Structure 1
Amino acid sequence: MLLVFAPASPSFAKSKKDTRMSDYTKVKSAYVMDAKSGQTLYENHADRQLPIASLSKMMTLYLTTQAIKHHQLNWNDKVPVDNQLIKMSKSYALGSFKIKHSNQYTVKELYQAALIASSNSAAIALGKAVTGGNNTKFISMMNHQAKAWGIDANFVSSSGLDNTDLKHYGYQLSGTSDKAQNMVSAKAISIVAQHLIKAYPQINQWSNKATYKLDGQTLVNANSMLKPGYYYRASNHLTGLKTGYTETAGLCLTITYWRNGRELIATIIGSQSTFSAMNGLITHLDKTVRSKPVTEASKTYDIQGRKVTVNPAEKQTRVWYRIGQDPNKINVTSKLMTTKLPVKKGQPLTTTNFNHTGLPSVTNQNGTAAETVAKPVAKQGNATGTNWFSRLFAGIGKAFSQIF
C-alpha cells in the first residue's frame, strides 16, 4: 500500500525510548540539508537512485504551484477527474480520498488531498490539469525540471505508483516496462522539497496536519512524527512534509524541521522503521553538528572589461560545521560561473562554498547580479581607417593652405 505506514505498537517495544528512536544508519539512503543554503549536513548513499514511492508527489506539487504562480491554473479552478481515477480513488490499496464526481473538486482540494492523504488520483489529476489533460506531457515536464536542476531522477509517474498498479488504470507511460517506477536519489528529492517550500512557503499550513476535513471526509496524514503521532517529539520543531511507501521502495520520508533559526530538510529512503530512524538521525545531528552566523558582502568582478556587482544569496547566513572543527577557520568563498556579458539583474553568477566545516563544502547558494550589465559596444571595423583618412586629408589641406 502506497499510503499507509504501520508504526510499531508501543506494547511490543522494549522501552519507550527504543520505539521512538532507532539506528538511523540502517536505511538504504539518507540525506539532510539546509533548506536555504543547500549545505549538506549528513549523507548516507545520498546519490543512489532508488524507488521513492509517494515522495514523487513533491515534484507534482511543485509544478502545480508553478502553474498557479504563472496564472496557468487558479486555486479555485474545477479539475476534471476521469472515471479511471475515480475508480482508483475508491481502491482499498491505492485510494485514500474518495473522489465522488468528476469536476467536483478544485485545484486546492486536490492539492490538499495529494499532500496530506497522499491521494494518487488527486496527484495524477493535478498533473493532467497542469498540461491540459496530457499525463504523458506532465511526466515529461517532471523529468525536464529534474534535468534543469541537475538532479538524479527518472520519473514515470506523477503519483509515485509503480507501473504494476498504473497499468490497471490505463496510466502506464508508453515505452516503459510493466514494472517501471520512479527512481530518484535521497539528495535529489530533498532538492525537490527545497524548491517546493521556496515556491510555496505556506505549504506547512497543510503538511503539518495529522488530519484534515475535506468534503465530508477526513484526510489522514501517515506521518506519525506529527502531533499527536506516536513518534512526535516537540523538540523536533517539525513542520511536514511527505511520506511514501510501496513494497519495493519500503518506507520513505522527507521532513522539514527547524534548528537555530534555520529550516532543515531530511530524507530517509528504504527503512522498516523510518519514523524512529528519523528521530535517531535528528538526535545524531543535534549531538554532532553546530552552526555559526556568517556575514557575506557584495563583491565586484571584472567581466569583459565591465564591473559587475554580485549580491550574496544571504547577507546573514548560518554555516553548519562538525563539532571538533575550529569555527574561527570557517570561511565562505565564491566562484564566478561566467566570463561573458550580458548579465541580467538577479541572474545567478557565482557558486558558494563553505570551507573548513568538516562537512561537504559545496552548497547550492548562488550570488546574483545586482544589476543588468550589457555587452561592451563593439568597435566598428572601419573606424580606424576612416579616422586615418580624415587625418591624412586634414594634414594635406593644412599644407596646401600654407603654400597658397
Structure 2
Amino acid sequence: MFSPATTGFAKSKKDGLMSNYTKVKAAYVMDAKSGQTLYENKADKTLPIASLSKMMTLYLTTEAINQHKLHWSDKVAVDKNLIKMSKNYGLGTFKIKRSKQYTVKQLYQAALIASSNSAAIALGNAVAGGSNAKFIAMMNKQAKDWGIAAHFISSSGLDNTDLKHYGYRLPNTSASAQNMVSAKAISVVAQHLVAAFPQISKWSSKATYDLDGQTLVNANALVKDGTYYRASNHLTGLKTGYTETAGLCLTVTYWRNGRELIATILGSDTTFTAMNGLITHLDKTLLNKTVKQSNKTYRVKNQKVTAAPTETTTKIWYRKGQDASKIKVSNQLTATKLPIQKGSQVTTTSFENTGLPATTNLGETATKTVKKQSAQQSNTGGTNWFGHFFKQVGHFFSHLF
C-alpha cells in the first residue's frame, strides 16, 4: 500500500508512532496553484467518497453563479422528498422547513458547512432546471472534461440504498450504486472549486454558523475551535464525508510558505489524527524553492510564438536530500498548428529533479495571436524567388548587347 519510491515517502518508526496517516484506503496532496503532486498513496484508485462529492455540486453551482445563470439571492423551492430527507437525523442535521423557500446562498452554506444532503440535491436541481438526472450528467461530463477518475450517481454523496427512499435513485443504476472517485480526482475538484470561489474559506473554516434560526455544525474537527485544531496547520476548510462503505473521508485546504495546498484522505478510521500526521510528515520531509520565469519564444510552422508563463514566480516543492541546484523548470512545446490564439496554451510545464512527480498544471500561453502564413508569404524563396532571379538575369544580359 505504501512504497517510498512510487506512492509516498519513507516512513520512520517515529512517524509510525506519531500517527496512522498511512493506514488509509487512499491519500493525495497537491499544490493548489501549480498542481504539483506532493504525496500520493493509491491516489488513482476509485473509491466511495461519501459527502466529498458535494464539492463537485458546489463547483457547478459556483460556475452557474459566475456565469449569471444563478444568483446567491435566488429563491429555491425544496420538494417534499428533500424536506422529508432533512428530517432524518442520520442523513443531515439541517432541517428544511416545509413552508419556506431558501436562497442559493443558504443552501450552499448548509451543504458546505453542515453537509446537508437535501441542500446539495436542491442546489443540483436549481442548476439543472429541476432535473436531478441532468445534473448528475453535468457532474460526469465535468469530470470527463478534466480527465479525472470519477463516476457520479449522486449530487450529495448518498448511495442508492438511501436515495431510493426519497425518489432520487438515478435510473439505470444498481440498488447499491454509489459515487466512485479517486483521492486525486476529488482533490482536483477541490482545486477547481477554490479557484472558482476563493472566498469559500470564509464559510468552510467555521466550526459553527448560524443560519435561519439553526446552528450549522461543521464536522471538520481540524478547523479553529475543533477538537483536533492545530494553529500551526494554517488550515482553512474544506469538506468531510462519511458512509459505512466509504468510511471517514476528508479533503482540507491549508497554507505553507505562501502556497495553498490540498490534501485528501479516503477511508480512514481516525481521519483527523491521520490528516494532522500527514501534514506534519510533509512538513518534515519537504522543502521548496522559489523560481522565476520569463517570456520565451518558440517556433511553430516557422512562425515565432512568444509565450508567457502561468506563474512568473512559482514555488517548486522537493524532497529533502535532493540537490536543489539541479531542480529546474522544463517547458515542452505542445502547440503544433497555426493559427494560435492569444491566451491559448502552447507548452506544458514540468518540475525536474524534485524527487516528486514532474507533471504540473502549469504551462505557457501565447502573448498574441499568430496567424497562418499567407500563400504569398509561403512562396517567398519559392516561385517568386525564381521569377525575381530570372528577371535579374535578363536585366544583366540586356546591358551586354
Q: TM-score, normalised by structure 1?
A: 0.89
1:60 aligns with 2:57: yes
Give the one of 217, 233, 236 matched to 2:233. 236
1:339 counterpart residue number: 336
- Identify if the C-alpha distance between structure 1 residues 310 and 102 changes in structure 2 by more than 3 Å, giving closer, same or farther: farther
> Residue type of the partner of 2:308?
N
Moved more, 85-94 or 243-252: 85-94
Instruction: Tell me the residue number matched to 1:260.
Output: 257
Deviation of residue 368 (structure 1)?
1.5
- Taking the aligned partners of 2:259 and 2:378, their CA distance within structure 1 comes to 56
Alignment match, 1:206 = 203
Tell me the secondary structure at the aligned position of residue 76 of structure 2: coil
Confirm or deny that 1:281 pairs with 2:283.
Answer: no
Matched, 1:77 2:74: yes
Tell me how far apart the structure 2 counterparts of residues 345 and 174 of structure 1 sit (CA, whole Å).
Answer: 44
Letter in 1 for 2:334: M
Match of 1:373 among 361, 370, 376: 370
1:223 equivalent in alignment to 2:187: no
1:103 offset after TM fit, Å?
A: 5.7
Q: Corresponding residue for 2:5?
A: none
> Residues 90-129 of structure 1 correspond to what in structure 2 (within 5 A)?
90-101=87-98, 104-129=101-126
In the TM superposition, residue 381 of structure 1 has moved relative to its aligned partner by 12
Q: 237, 244, 249: which one pairs with 1:247?
A: 244
State the one-letter code of the partner of 1:196: L
Match of 1:324 in 2: 321
Q: Distance in 2 between matches of 1:122 and 1:179?
A: 22
CA contact (8 A) 1:82 1:102 kept: no
Q: Separation in 2 of the partners of 1:190 and 1:206?
A: 19
- Offset of residue 343 of structure 1: 2.0
Structure 1 stretches of at least 4 aligned residues deviating more than 4 Å after TM superposition:
379-389
Question: Quick one: which amino acid aligns to residue 90 of structure 2?
Answer: A
Q: Mind listing any 5+ residue stretches in structure 1 that lack a counterpart?
A: 1-16, 393-404
Amino acid at match of 1:108: K
Amino acid at match of 1:347: S
Separation of aligned partners in 1, 2:45 and 2:378: 55
| 1:72-97 C-alpha deviation (Å, 9 max, x unpaired) | 00110001111101111111211221
Secondary structure in structure 2 of the residue aligned to 1:93: helix
- Of stretches 366-375 and 153-162 in structure 1, the one that deviates more from structure 2 is 366-375
Q: Tell me, in whole angstroms, the C-alpha distance in 1 between the residues paired with 2:99 and 2:134.
A: 21
Aligned length, in residue pairs: 378
In 2, distance between residues paired with 1:382 and 1:333?
35
Matches within 5 A, 1:379-390: 379=376
Contact 1:21-1:276 at 8 Å conserved across structures: no
Deviations 1:95-128 (A, max 9, x none): 2211103661100110000000000011111111
CA displacement at 1:309 relative to structure 2: 1.3
* 2:35 aligned counterpart, secondary structure: coil
Q: CA deviation at 1:387?
A: 12
Compute the displacement of 1:21 (Å): 5.5
CA 1:328–1:379 in structure 2 vs 1: closer, same or farther (change >3 Å)? same
Contact 2:92/2:114 (<8 A) preserved: no
Q: Name 1:147's counterpart in structure 2.
A: 144
Partner of 1:33: 30
User: Which of 191, 196, 204 is equivalent to 2:193?
Assistant: 196
Deviates more, 1:373-382 or 1:337-346: 373-382
| C-alpha displacement of 1:327 | 0.6
Deviation of 1:239 after TM superposition, in Å, equals 0.2
SS in 1 for 2:102: coil
Deviations 1:356-391 (A, max 9, x none): 1111111111222212222332459999999999x9
1:338 Cα offset (Å): 1.9
Letter in structure 2 aligned against 1:172 = R
- Which TM-score applies when normalising by structure 2? 0.89
Measure how far apart 1:300 and its partner are: 1.1
Q: Secondary structure at the match of 2:44?
A: coil
Q: Is the 8 A contact 1:352 1:366 kept in 2?
A: yes
In the alignment, the residues of structure 1 paired with residue 24 and residue 159 of structure 2 have an alpha-carbon distance, to the nearest angstrom, of: 21
Q: Which of 145, 165, 173 is 1:176 aligned to? A: 173
CA distance in 2, matches of 1:112, 1:236: 24
| Partner SS state of residue 176, structure 1 | coil
Looking at structure 2, the residues matched to 381 and 345 of structure 1 have their Cα atoms a distance apart, in angstroms, of 22
Partner of 1:351, secondary structure, is strand
Letter in 1 for 2:243: T
Separation in 2, partners of 1:356, 1:64: 39
